Every structure is written in structure tokens, then in C-alpha cells.
Amino acid sequence: MTEDSPAKSILPRVVPVMVPMPADRPYSYAVPDGAKAVPGSIVRVPLGPREVAGIVWDGAGEALSAKRLRPISEIFDCPPVAEEMRRFVDWIAAYTLSPPGLVARMLLRAPAAFDPEPWTEGLRLVEGAGPDRMTAARNRVLEMAGDGQAWTRAGLAHAAGVSSSVIEGLREQGVFETVSIPPQPVVAAPDAGFAKAELTPDQEAAALRLRERAGTDAFSVTLLDGVTGSGKTEVYFEAIAAALERGKQVLILIPEIALTQAFLERFHDRFGAKPGEWHSDLAPKKRERVWRQVAEGQVRVVAGARSALFLPFKELGLIVIDEEHDPAYKQEDRVFYNARDMGVVRGHIGDFPVVLASATPSLESRVNANQGRYERIVLSSRFAEAALPDLATIDMRKAPPERGGFLSPVLIDAMRKTLARGEQSLLFLNRRGYAPLTLCRVCGHRFQCPECSSWLVEHRFRGQLVCHHCGHNEPRPEACPECGTLDHLVACGPGVERIAEEVDRHFPEARTIMLSSDMMGGVKRLRLELEAIAKGEADIIVGTQLVAKGHNFPAMTLVGVVDADLGLANGDPRAAERTFQLLAQVTGRAGRTGRKSVGLLQTYQPEHPVMRAIVTGDAEAFYEREIAERERAGLPPFGRLAGIIVSAATRQEAESHARGLRQAAPRATEIDVLGPAEAPLALIAGRHRFRLLVQGTRRADLQGFVRAMLERGPKQRGSVRVQVDIDPQSFL
């Protein structure tokens, strides 16, 4: 071709760009002359009054009047977002009924990483040069830097154990010259053969099978189901080794990774290097470096929270989802998704294996295994030194606590004996604060949240009444706001603060630590406390949920569950499953190093299937029963079923939405309001959230009528939020 036709040279080239906002399709932008924008390119584009980062999408840009068309401002020098990833975004958008722009936004969360990492200034020893006077500090620095390598100022100062002013002094004297050094890897490369753990025959067989499945370039899902302490981690490490040997990148999803630093150590022990970390607590600078190096393929393994699913891997070849049943995998704001399910979808799109691991798999994963969609590998025994704890219920009707207390004499006695042996006790109560309800003894006034009408929880340590639903808080008054009577407010029911107080009363000499997610000092403080406990610097630990998650406390030989019934009676279709999982996880904290250990569950219904399953250890029977029950009730994840979450101020309002939905739904569809949605933390301006179950419809029908409903009017759109909650495996 010799010359472009005139028409061609006038018309600008147009590409679709996905911008990080709720657009339901990409916008069109002009590509500046000479610029090279390919699908996946990350670009800076003008959007209204500001500039944003976007991703060049697939297909042709739609024709647009030249007046509205604006040019791309910059094409970042960054590896393009892979085609797989773009399909993943489109899939999630379609599945969750979210605008694709909002999904794409989750990929664009590391703004400064789109530019290459800058080279940094380093120092190198000048050959033959020496300082005017030698000091001990200077000597150490010269020894460290004697290898002729370039060092960063801070790195050298740290390695030599001197302050950076020593280095600066030497540089001024010409002992060091400044050189440019390329960006350093954020983590060292893992070595698949570094230190394979000794496995029991059981584990070895599982690892072998997992290597076979997970070691090939084909989609598969394997459910690794093993009791706490059976060494699941060591087993799936072998699958990771196999993927690394294939030259693939690996993603390990872990709930609450910010608190499970011990995991990084275990990984290091096996692979000789830490995995790249990814979670919301990461320092911004580190975040950018991890993002960039994942994109460039320098970071081979990432251990991260659910958002790590949206990292721009260059050659991802395995996803491991640890504690796959964990509700923390659900995101319930903006784009509603479950990272476990999306991880499976990601593996399907990328055609690589996925491993789900849990001691207490979710019902849907068990069903998927039963139906042959997943392969299930079972690890049934703890490894040699770690014995399973003896579990028993304490019937609170027969052994009630003393007046004003919440701990049964049976539990207190067990704690006393544990203390006497110099071992640790854990008391678990899944309720933050001091007391869940405060009322006035004179007039009966109950403290309610003015925003959302749930009970206010007293936090005595902070002197506040707090709404756990919407975050509202107010100082705890002396007098009743209703009748004005002073000093007659009474706390009802226990929270961890109150249990810690009771423990102090019984065991004033013991070292008691209370752990709660709302503790002063945040994640950092929690980490320190967990380390202190692991080192044996506490006798009694009182904690919420977070103590159930993956920490190993070697000296812990007694676990007491203060209220095992909590959560069984809230109308949630997952109540029994969730309670079983939580109790199994928390009692599994005991006896991890082989000492004889005990788990005691305080309950008013010792004959409840959940209690029976925990005490007898017969999880199989429990799962079968739960699955059968769900099938009978026609609840997800079985059959063609879906859930919708609406947010509304009251249950009445939710009911009215349900009526509206019923009218919009196909005739074969049934809709029921099932009470509060599972996640208490998703806050939609202090509104209550209810889960509607929509039954008897195919996914396409459901999406159709949900869309129809959303289009019925602006008023409806404002008050109804929709989440479609179907098991995606049914549609792969």
C-alpha cells in the first residue's frame, strides 16, 4: 500500500475502553496518531471533568460524533490485561448483573503500578577509595559493601547495623559512588524442590493424586477435605510445587490473610521464599510493586484475600482456595460475588486446575463433589503427634452458671485444671462488646439504633453503645433517656468483654487476653497478641470468630464454647451449616501438638444435630442430613434456584418488594422472604437487608425478570439492590 485514502486519514481510529465506573458497556475513545493501543492496554482517558485509568476492550469502538469523541491521553507502559482476564470481567458482570465497568474497576486498583517501577539510586564502593578516619561503624559498612555490589542506602545501613548518616558521610568523602539499580523483586523466587515436608502415607497418597490433577494444564476442581490438623496445607503445597515446575504462576486465596502471618512462614519453610502478599492492609507502595511484578511474571506465587483474584497474572496456572467454606469470600458491596465461585470460573476460563481446601467444606462444594463435578480427596486423620480433642457438650439446663455469670461450673472446673497443668484455655464467644442489649430496669426502655432499629451493643471498655449493624455509636448514658432514672440501666446477655470480666473474677492470677476484631490498635495489635499467645505468654484467651481462623496455639488444650447455640435460630438457611463449621474450626484449635485436649460446648440443646455432629465427629451424617433437608426445602445450591438480596428499611418494605417481584416473575417462580441476609457487614446506608429466595426458575429467566424489575421505575431502582446467588458450577 502506498498511500492512505483521504477519508481514512481523517477518521481517527476508535477503540472501546472500559472505564472504572458503572458503565454497562465500554466507551469509545480516539487513539492518537502513532499510538499503539491493543485490547488489554491500560490507558489514561478523560472522563467528564477528570482523568481515569481504563482498559482497552475487545471489538470495534462504536461510531460516535466527532464532537463527543475524546482522545486517549496516555497509553501506559504496562503489560496488557490478558484476554482471559477480560473474558473473566465480562463473565462476572453478566453473572452478578453488575455493570462491567464496576468489575473492571477491581482490576485497576493499583494506580501507580501502571507505570514501570523506577530505577532507584544505589551506592557502590569506589575501588581504592577509603575514608579519612576509620571507625567501628564505618568498618562494618565497608565490610558489608566489600563485595562490589550496589546497595540501597537504607539496605546497607540496615545490614551493617549503622544509621544512614554513616553511609552519607562516606559518600561525601567519595568512598561510595551513586549508581542506578533496577527495581528489586518484592519476594524471592520460590523453589519447588526446596524442602518437601515429610508426609504420612495418607498425606503422600493425597499429594500424589493432587499432583496428578493439579499438575496438568486442564480445568479441574479438586476438593481437599481434611479434618483440622490433618496437614491439608502440606498436601496442597505439593500441588503448588507441581504448578511451579510447569512454569506457572499460582494464586492462593486465604480468608483474613492479614491475620495469618504464620501461613507465610510455613510457605517459606517449604519453598525457601515467601509468597507475594495481597490484601487491603498492604502499604500502598508495596501494593503497587506486587501488582506490577505479578503482571510481569516476576512474582510466581501470590497469597491473598479475595481481591487477589483480580490481579493481572501473566501465566496463572493454579488457584488454591483455602478454607473454601469461609463467608469472608463473599463480597457484598458494589459487585456481589463469592471469590470461591469466581476462582472456579477463573480456572475454567484459563483452563487450569483449581483446588478447594477445607476441614468443613460448604454444602455446595460437597454436592458438587457428590455429583462428580469436583473430585473429593479426604484426609481423615490428624498427623501422628496431633490428636483430635475429646469433645463434649455441657447441658446448661443441668449445669447452669451461677447467678450473673455465663460460664457453667463444669467449664470453670476444666479451666482450673488446665491452668494448674500450665496449659492454655480458649473461650470462644462469637459476640463483640460487653452486652448485646441494654435496658432500663424501671421503665423497660431498650436501647435501639436510631438509624436501623437493631439493639445497641454496650462496649464497656470504650464506654459506648454501638450498633453492630450500621456502625452508629453513642456514649453510654447514666440515666434512662425515657424515664430519666439514674443508675438503673442493666446489661443483658454476654459479649466477650463480659466473659473476660467473669474469667478475671474466677482466675485473678491467670494471664487473660481478650481478642476481638474491634480491638483498639487494629490488625497490628492483633498480630502481636496472637504471637504472644503462640509463645505461651497467656493462660486464658477469650475471643470472637477470629480465634477460629488458622492460628496454631501449641499449648492450647482446652476450648470452651460459651454459647454453642448462638446463630442456630436466626432464620438463615445456612444457620446449621455455619454453626457446624464455626464450632468445628474453633474446637480444632485444641491439641495441635499432640497433648491430650478437650473441647466443651455450652448448649441448651445438646441433642441438636449440629452438637451431635461435633461431639461424635460424624460430619458425614451431618452433611447428608443437611443436603437432604435443603433438597426437600428446595433451597440453593440445588436445582435451578437463585437468591436475591434486597435492602429495605423494614421487613414490611422487603415484603412489598417481594410482592413486586412476584408480579414481575414468570408464573413458575416462587419468591419467599427469608429474613436477614447473611452478611451483617454490608452496609447500605443503615438499611436492613433481606434475602429473597427465588425458586423454580432458570438463570436466564431470573436475570430477565430482575432486569425487568429494575427497569420499572427510578423509585424501585433506588431501594432494591440485587444479588443473584446461584451456584455457578451449574452453568459452566
Taking the complex as a whole, how short is the minimal distance between the CB of residue 690 and DNA, in angstroms? 20
Does 64 participate in binding DNA (rule CB under 7 A)?
Answer: yes
78 marked as binding residue: no
Torsion of CA 512, 516, 519, 522, to 10 degrees: 120
483 marked as binding residue: yes
d(CA 647, CA 686): 10
Taking the complex as a whole, how short is the minimal distance between the CB of residue 21 and DNA, in angstroms? 4
284 to 323: interface string for DNA, x by CB under 7 A: ----------------------------------------
Q: Distance of alpha carbon 489 from its chain centroid, rounded?
A: 38
Does 27 participate in binding DNA (rule CB under 7 A)?
Answer: yes
To which residue does cell 567501628 refer? 136
| 162 phi and psi angles, rounded to 5 deg | -125, 170
Taking the complex as a whole, how short is the minimal distance between the CB of residue 93 and DNA, in angstroms? 13
Q: 706 exposed, middle or buried (CB, 10 Å; 0-12, 13-18, 19+)?
A: buried
Q: Distance of alpha carbon 173 from its chain centroid, rounded?
A: 51
331 to 370: interface string for DNA, x by CB under 7 A: ---x------------------------------------
Does 57 participate in binding DNA (rule CB under 7 A)?
Answer: no
d(CA 441, CA 121): 69
Question: CA 730 → CA 321, 344, 588, 693, distances in Å?
Answer: 19, 12, 33, 17
Does 552 participate in binding DNA (rule CB under 7 A)?
Answer: no
Helix axis angle, 609-616 relative to 619-633, nearest 10°? 160
Does 21 participate in binding DNA (rule CB under 7 A)?
Answer: yes
480 marked as binding residue: yes
Strand partners, 124: 177
16 or 696: CB nearest DNA:
16
d(CA 502, CA 116): 56
Q: Which region among 66-74, 235-243, 448-456, 509-517 touches DNA (by CB under 7 A)?
A: 66-74
Q: Which region among 43-51, 477-485, 527-535, 670-678 touches DNA (by CB under 7 A)?
A: 43-51
d(CA 18, CA 39): 10
Per-residue DSSP letter, 328 = G
Q: Which region among 46-54, 146-154, 382-390, 594-602 touches DNA (by CB under 7 A)?
A: 46-54
Residue from 8, 50, 133, 398 that binds DNA (CB under 7 A)?
50
| 424 phi and psi angles, rounded to 5 deg | -100, 150
Residue from 22, 32, 609, 634 that binds DNA (CB under 7 A)?
22
Taking the complex as a whole, how short is the minimal distance between the CB of residue 8 and DNA, in angstroms? 20
d(CA 564, CA 562): 6
**Omega into 637 within 30° of 0, i.e. cis?**
yes
Give all strands (DSSP E) within 396-544, no chain letters: 424-428, 437-440, 457-459, 464-466, 473-475, 489-492, 512-515, 540-543
525 or 717: CB nearest DNA:
717
d(CA 329, CA 344): 13
Does 148 participate in binding DNA (rule CB under 7 A)?
Answer: no
28 or 152: CB nearest DNA:
28
Residue from 23, 35, 189, 392 that binds DNA (CB under 7 A)?
23
Q: 150 exposed, middle or buried (CB, 10 Å; 0-12, 13-18, 19+)?
A: buried
102 or 720: CB nearest DNA:
102
Taking the complex as a whole, how short is the minimal distance between the CB of residue 70 and DNA, in angstroms? 4
SS3 breakdown of the chain: % helix, strand, coil, rounded to 5? 35, 20, 45
15 or 519: CB nearest DNA:
15
Q: What 3-state class would DSSP assign to 153?
A: helix
372 or 714: CB nearest DNA:
714
Q: Which region among 42-50, 181-189, 375-383, 558-566 touches DNA (by CB under 7 A)?
A: 42-50
Does 68 participate in binding DNA (rule CB under 7 A)?
Answer: yes
Taking the complex as a whole, how short is the minimal distance between the CB of residue 58 and DNA, in angstroms? 15
Taking the complex as a whole, how short is the minimal distance between the CB of residue 67 and DNA, in angstroms? 9
Q: Which region among 65-73, 251-259, 276-284, 482-490 touches DNA (by CB under 7 A)?
A: 65-73
Taking the complex as a whole, how short is the minimal distance between the CB of residue 48 and DNA, in angstroms? 4
Cβ neighbors of 21 (< 8 A, separation 6 or more) are 47, 52, 99, 101, 102, 105
55 or 582: CB nearest DNA:
55
Residue from 29, 95, 352, 622 that binds DNA (CB under 7 A)?
29
Strand partners, 121: 180
Q: Where are the alpha helices (DSSP H) in 322-382?
A: 339-350, 363-370
Q: Which region among 48-56, 193-201, 388-396, 403-411 touches DNA (by CB under 7 A)?
A: 48-56
99 to 118: interface string for DNA, x by CB under 7 A: ---x----------------
Residue from 3, 10, 36, 48 that binds DNA (CB under 7 A)?
48
Residue from 13, 32, 39, 69 that binds DNA (CB under 7 A)?
69
Does 683 participate in binding DNA (rule CB under 7 A)?
Answer: no
Residues binding DNA: what is the number (CB under 7 A)?
Answer: 21
What would you report as the CA-atom Rg of the chain, rounded to the nearest whole angstrom?
Answer: 29
Q: Which region among 17-25, 139-147, 274-282, 623-631 touches DNA (by CB under 7 A)?
A: 17-25
Does 47 participate in binding DNA (rule CB under 7 A)?
Answer: yes
Does 49 participate in binding DNA (rule CB under 7 A)?
Answer: yes
* Torsion sign over Cα 239, 241, 244, 246: negative
Taking the complex as a whole, how short is the minimal distance between the CB of residue 660 and DNA, in angstroms? 18
Residue from 6, 118, 372, 714 that binds DNA (CB under 7 A)?
714
d(CA 693, CA 704): 16
The answer to whether the beta carbons of residues 461 and 448 sit under 8 Å apart is no
- Site for DNA, residues 83 to 102, rule: CB under 7 A: 102
51 or 191: CB nearest DNA:
51
d(CA 452, CA 680): 12
Closest CA to 589 of 545, 550, 618, 544: 550
d(CA 175, CA 172): 7
Q: Which region among 1-9, 15-23, 502-510, 653-661 touches DNA (by CB under 7 A)?
A: 15-23
Taking the complex as a whole, how short is the minimal distance between the CB of residue 709 and DNA, in angstroms? 17
Annotated binding site: 440, 443, 449, 452, 467, 470, 480, 483
Residues that bind DNA (CB under 7 A): 21-23, 27-29, 45-50, 62, 64, 68-70, 102, 334, 714, 718
Annotated binding site for Zn(2+): 440, 443, 449, 452, 467, 470, 480, 483
